Amino acid sequence: MVVERKISKEKYLLAALLAFLIFSFGLSLGIILDNARAKWAEKVTKEQEINYASLQLQYLYINTLEESNQSCSVLRIALAEAVKELSKSLDKLSQYKDDAKLNKNEFTLIGRKYTLDNLRYWLFARRTKEKCDIDIVSILYFYSGKYCDSCPNQGTILTYFKKRFEERVLIFPIDVDLEEYEPMITILKESYNITQYPSIIVENEKYEGVIPKEELAKLICDSFKNKEICLR
């Protein structure tokens, strides 16, 4: 009997040791993955800073030249490419943020940085449109992952129009869940009197709730100077 109890105790100890090792491995792997995600996000953030600085320089350079279709065309293409890359990075960052179990504070800081990047590009697009009379439509999209069950529906509709019109429609998502950390979100909400989600700003006009595809198509097409764009 003593031998059997000794063997059973050894089995329990072995099982406990294995469980501890598995738990430790999982925890370590999670930390490694989260750190890798954070480093990736930091790298992309630095790239976006350089891209934005490049756009600013292009804008200043064009201001020193006489206005021409060629110079403005170059600026439009550069802006579209930069926003396209920003959109891809934001999508990937959102996936990492949803999967992350650790380093939430770090991801919050990175989320704030991307929000500010979005707003800088939005302002740059507005200035560029005014300067070069570029036929684009800018949309600010206020959404919440915590307090808005219908926001994914609006996001899907916006994605459809982004794919349809490509660089002619610029969509800048603003995650209002970061408002307690980023004062600029509060300033924007107060400026446009945002009281519910989702809400979108199409060329400085506010629309609340989920805007159906047909209605949003009309809003976008009415904002284009060249109406033939919507017939393509």
Q: Where are the domains of the chain?
A: 1-134, 135-232
pLDDT tens, position by position, 125-165: 888 888 788 889 999 999 998 889 999 999 999 999 999 99
Q: Spell out the CATH class of 135-232.
A: alpha beta
Q: What are the CA-CA distances from residue 91 to residues 68, 115, 213 (Å)?
A: 35, 13, 22
pLDDT, tens digit, for every residue of 68-123?
Answer: 556 676 676 777 777 776 766 666 666 656 555 546 676 777 778 788 888 888 88
CATH code of the domain made up of 1-134 = 1.20.58
Spell out a b/e string for 116-143, using b for 16 or more CB atoms within 10 Å of the CB, else e: ebbbbbbebbeebbeebebebbbbbbbb
Adjacency order of strands within the sheet including 137-143: 169-175, 137-143, 199-202, 205-208
